[in-house]
Chains A and B, each alone.
Chain A
Amino acid sequence: MLNPGLTEIVGRTFVGAESTTVSQESITNFALAIGEPETNVAPPTFAITITLDKSQELLQNSGLDWTRVVHGDQKFTSTRPIVAGDTLVCSSTIESARSVAGNEIVTVRSDLHNGEELVASSWSTLVVRA
Chain B
Amino acid sequence: MSAFEVGQEIAPKSYPVTRELLVGYANASGDQNPIHQNEEFAKSVGLPDVIAHGMFTMALAGRYASEIAGNSGAIREFSARFTKPVVVPAGATVEVIFSAKVSEVTAESVKLDITATCNGEKVLGMTKALFNL
How big is the B interface, by class? 20 to 34
B contact face: mostly helix, strand, loop, or mixed: helix
Most B CB contacts (10 A, CB to CB) among A36, A45, A72 go to A45
**Complex CA distance for A64 and B78, rounded to whole angstroms:** 27
> Nearest-CB distance from B22 to chain A (Å)?
9
**Complex CA distance for A26 and B65, rounded to whole angstroms:** 21
A contact face: mostly helix, strand, loop, or mixed: mixed
Q: In the complex the two chains form, is B79's CB within 8 Å of A76's CB? A: yes
Q: In the complex the two chains form, is A43's CB within 8 Å of B29's CB? A: no
> Nearest-CB distance from B7 to chain A (Å)?
24
| Chain A residues with CB under 8 A of B24 | 32-33
> Nearest-CB distance from B128 to chain A (Å)?
9
Q: In the complex the two chains form, is B54's CB within 8 Å of A33's CB? A: no
A77 at the binding interface (Cβ < 8 Å):
yes
A-B CB pair tally, cutoff 8 Å: 98
| Chain B residues with CB under 8 A of A71 | 54-55, 82
How big is the A interface, by class? 20 to 34
In the complex, what residue of chain A is closest to B15 when comparing beta carbons? A35
Q: How would residues 50 to 84 of chain B score, 1 for a CB under 8 Å from any chain A CB and 0 otherwise?
A: 00001110111011011000011101111111100
The answer to whether residues A48 and B81 also contact, given A33-B24, A74-B58 and a CB cut-off of 8 A, is no
Give A70-104 interface residues, CB cut-off 8 Å to B.
70-81
B92 at the binding interface (Cβ < 8 Å):
no
Q: In the complex the two chains form, is B29's CB within 8 Å of A35's CB? A: no
Top 6 closest pairs, chain A to chain B, by CB = A33-B28, A75-B79, A41-B73, A81-B73, A73-B81, A34-B59
What is B's interface to A at a CB cutoff of 8 Å? Answer: 15, 21, 24-25, 27-31, 54-56, 58-60, 62-63, 65-66, 71-73, 75-82, 126, 129
Q: What are 20 A-B contacts defined by CB distance under 8 Å? A: A29-B28, A30-B29, A33-B29, A35-B21, A35-B60, A36-B63, A39-B73, A41-B71, A43-B62, A44-B75, A45-B55, A45-B59, A45-B78, A48-B29, A70-B82, A73-B80, A74-B54, A74-B79, A76-B77, A81-B73
